[in-house]
Amino acid sequence: MGKEELKQEIITTVKREYKNQMVNMFEGNVSAKWGESIFITPSQVSKEIITADMLIEMDLQGNIIHQPDGFRPSSETKMHLEVYRLRPDVKAVVHNHSLYATAYAVNNMPLESDALTEMNITFGSVPVVPYGTPGTDRIYEKFPEYIMNRYAVLLANHGVLTFGRTLELAYSYAEAVEKIAQTLYVAGRLGPAANIPAEEAEALRQYGASKREAQIRRYTQE
């Protein structure tokens, strides 16, 4: 994929999130890696009018390579860069405030269940990273304890963070996390969930974990 195509894919992702009510006009941010640099969405720009030529390019240390006049990087840029630093296999990061998943984050409740087979394979669980002030180093200081074998976490009292080897995957994980949160919430209103056997749930989690580890190793070596 060429550089301009990647930039356009970032814009497409942002607009998909807005259309699907995963962010409001000014919430959330998206980035993608291009060689030894990243492109990231600007701060305080409406998702309805954002275009590819508004994106900021910077190196992996956060030094600006290109910044269009009148635009500044997302306030969560350091959080994105920390994901790329810790996870060399990751090529894209998506941060949003989708309703149900963010409600779990606000309540400091991880997404976990012995009733959802696909969730246990794909995620195992989606933990809550302890609270850190948005836009500061504190929001990601606990990342080494939470993101090394995962594709998604909740940020306490804040929102959702997903990441993957492509932008399409990172967005898909965000969509999946929101659907899981909706399902768990509705199921909880209906009554106690009909869990699958505990040993089967654990087997699914172990299978998913080993699969993620293999993928991370493979794409880290590329």
Active site members: 76
Maximum C-alpha span of the chain: 58
Structure tokens belonging to residue 150:
């995962």
Neighbours of 12 (CB within 10 A): 15
Q: Tell me how far apart the alpha carbons of residues 111 and 178 are, in angstroms, rounded to a whole number.
A: 10
Contact between 205 and 120 (Cβ < 8 Å)? yes
Neighbours of 137 (CB within 10 A): 11
Neighbours of 106 (CB within 10 A): 15
Contact between 45 and 81 (Cβ < 8 Å)? no
